A and B are shown apart, each in its own frame.
Chain A
């Protein structure tokens, strides 16, 4: 039995090397920071926002990219989450029904928020019965606008112009939460080291220029066995990582400044949520349910003729997307600290989610997240960048962003990831000619991620 699970882990690791690499890198990042004013903390703060909106974009992509449902009411699904959290963690006294949930513990708050998001999504999805295409998009927009106006006019629940001030939940400011995440991060890193050792011991003995043999690597990796030498290698890796981490983390634990933990804990929360959502949607898209919604996007009438109640499938899709978007809102609310109707429920959120998704590539799962990264980071940093190169032209940033979108469309008409995927066959072929095989991609992923983050780090500081 234990051998079976081990071989399963082996199989998983050997098949998802790129994913493990990137995730391990992201989990490793906060462990490097201890200083109070490190620019790495600024980077973590920015990344938290990117993860948060990345989840929103994935939710949008689940609807448009996988089931062909264009939802302009995405802002409401996001706002539900944001306002639920604002209601729970605000210090302002709320009117009766809302006051019941104030001060709920964080895990329950998260659970309740996702439930409410699912419910609102289901209500929105219920309108797909009679309405298709643009009809659904606009009825969803109408529902979102009605709620937006309601919050705008009722300042006793939305805090009016100044907005609601959201207190940081005690759990986020806690070093023990951080410790739990740090331990989890170490587990992910162990998995990464395991993967590296597995890779080294199966890949290196094979002549890298022998195509036939390289093809056998995957099979070999699945039959990977732990020997004492390999375990030794892993322990060595762990000790090196451990030393780096320990020198930073432990100095943090003896400080009385608990606010120092807010940024890394929020980062970990957002990262973990994103990884969970990523895995969930990845699984969903190959599930019986996921296959049906993909089919609905291509030919709804035929799906009905095959005996599926497509209406029910669409409701469930929007409901799931609602839960995910609410999760994103729930992460956003304690992050932004002050929530007014525009930042929580404005139409711009739906348009932003659409832009993120399209820039990254519709229906590509990782695309929406990358698109979010590109757009959010440009929005935050473009002004400074332009100001540095052409002093006095900082206000042109939105023009530059517009030009950027047009360039993306011209060179990547299906989004960054989408267009690369369409060329994946020829790209893989080119790689093979350079003796780079699928087993080696993770190395480039590691170098690439490192470079991207180094550039971001340089731009933030």
Chain B
């Protein structure tokens, strides 16, 4: 393995996904450097979430391949990818609604702790007796800034911003080296957004080079604040990649965004 592949944590080769006649993701090549923070932007329906689903293995790609840490994971099931170190949060809050927030986080840590195996002792001993899980749960809750008072409330009763933070906490629990955040500020009020952004920045600061983050985001101020590089998708194709400043002035990008608005107007 040469040094070049070592620096690239995720590489997609001409990855394509078709639903019937619709091509959601079309020949996308992406290389993500280890430890970087990238954002994927694009108009609605440009295939961002599908792209995430392809990387996490929820959907099998129609064509193309995905390399993670130099290993081909194109056909690995989702749970194996999670074991390898890919983790994600969801656009629509996707937690265990009737378990407590604490339980939600503990489950995500436990997944990494058990290493995908089920031993007889795991059926008989108490989950509460495993101290490592206990401590790490508090640790992660602290990093993302979850309210410790509300940790033992069923997750469905938490306010929206707390649920979004819980979502990030669960994604962190599997000890990922690549964290995919799908619109972490979706559906939030203006006052709540900075809380989540701070949480993301805190996470990034805490793990530094060990954690690579890919974001999907709509709110441009959030994008500009967090990301080092931006990838633009439109109609399933990658149309631009570069520094935030470059992207702002890129003609294709403007075309894609304005073009779509025109269509909407008609």
A and B touch in the complex (CB under 8 A): yes
A212 within 8 A of B: no
- Count of chain B residues with Cβ under 8 Å from any Cβ of A? 37
Interface size class of A (residues with CB under 8 A): 20 to 34
Q: Given A291-B107, A292-B110, A295-B99, answer yes or no on A306-B124 (Cβ-Cβ < 8 Å).
A: no
CB pair A302 B87 closer than 8 Å: no
The answer to whether B123 and A284 have CB atoms under 8 Å apart is yes
**Residues of chain B lying within 8 A (CB to CB) of residue A309:** 77, 79, 116
Q: How far is the CA of A437 from the CA of B110 in the complex (A)?
A: 36
CB under 8 Å from chain A, chain B span 157-183: 170, 173-174
Q: Complex Cα distance A394/B173, Å?
A: 61
Contact of A288 (CB < 8 Å), options: B77, B94, B114: B114
Query: B79–A304 contact, CB under 8 A?
Result: yes
Question: Which residues of A line the B interface, CB within 8 A?
Answer: 283-284, 286-292, 294-295, 298-299, 301-310, 312-313, 316, 320
Chain A residues, Cβ within 8 Å of B122? 287-289
Q: Report chain B residues within 8 Å CB of A289.
A: 118, 122-123
Q: Knowing that A301-B58, A306-B107, A306-B108 touch, tell me 19 more A-B residue pairs with CB under 8 angstroms.
A: A283-B126, A284-B123, A286-B126, A287-B123, A288-B125, A291-B106, A291-B127, A298-B98, A299-B95, A299-B96, A302-B95, A302-B170, A306-B173, A307-B112, A308-B79, A309-B77, A309-B79, A310-B79, A320-B123
Task: Note all chain A residues with C-beta closer than 8 A to B137.
Answer: none
**Would A298 and B97 count as touching, CB distance under 8 A?**
yes
Report the Cα distance A283→B124, complex, angstroms.
Answer: 6
Closest 10 A-B residue pairs measured CB to CB? A307-B82, A307-B111, A306-B111, A304-B78, A289-B123, A288-B122, A288-B127, A298-B96, A289-B122, A306-B108
Given contacts A283-B124, A306-B173, contact A288 B130 (CB under 8 A): yes
Query: Is B20 part of the contact surface with A, judged by Cβ < 8 Å?
Result: no
Q: Does B21 contact A (CB under 8 A)?
A: no
B56 contacts the other chain (CB 8 A): yes
Are A287 and B112 within 8 A (Cβ)? Answer: no
CA distance A216 to B124 in the complex (A): 31
Min CB distance, B80 to chain A, in Å?
8
Q: Complex: how many Å from CA A294 to CA B88?
A: 21
* Shortest Cβ distance from residue A313 to the other chain B in the assembled complex, whole angstroms: 7
Contact B127 A287 (CB under 8 A): yes
Report the minimal beta-carbon distance from A304 to chain B, rounded to whole angstroms. Answer: 4
Is the pair B96, A308 in contact by a Cβ cutoff of 8 Å? no
Pairwise interchain contact B128-A286, C-beta atoms closer than 8 A = yes
A68 smallest CB distance to B (angstroms): 12
**A-B contacts, 23 listed (Cβ < 8 Å):** A286-B126, A287-B122, A287-B124, A291-B107, A292-B107, A292-B110, A294-B99, A301-B78, A302-B95, A302-B96, A304-B77, A305-B79, A305-B87, A306-B82, A306-B174, A307-B83, A307-B116, A309-B77, A310-B79, A312-B118, A313-B118, A316-B123, A320-B123
Q: Which residues of A sit under 8 angstroms from B170, Cβ to Cβ?
A: 302, 306
Q: Is B103 an interface residue (CB 8 A)?
A: yes
Of the candidates B79, B125, B173, which one forms a contact with A287 in the assembled complex, judged by CB atoms under 8 Å apart? B125
Q: Please state if B103 and A291 are interface contacts (CB–CB under 8 Å).
A: yes
Determine how close the nearest CB of chain A comes to the CB of B88; give it in whole angstroms. 6
Instruction: Kindly provide the distance from the CB of B178 to the nearest chain A CB, expressed in whole angstroms.
Output: 13
Nearest CB of chain B from residue A442's CB, rounded to whole Å: 24
CA distance A286 to B126 in the complex (A): 6
- Please determine whether A307 and B103 come into contact, CB atoms closer than 8 angstroms: no
Complexed CA–CA distance, A306 and B97 (Å):
15
Q: Are B110 and A288 in contact (CB under 8 A)?
A: yes
Of residues 64 through 102 on chain B, the ones whose CB sits less than 8 Å from some CB of chain A are 77-79, 82-83, 87-88, 90, 94-99
- CA of A314 to CA of B240, assembled, Å: 44
Taking the nearest CB of chain A, how far is it from the CB of B92, in angstroms? 11
Q: Which residues of B contact A303 (CB under 8 A)?
A: 107
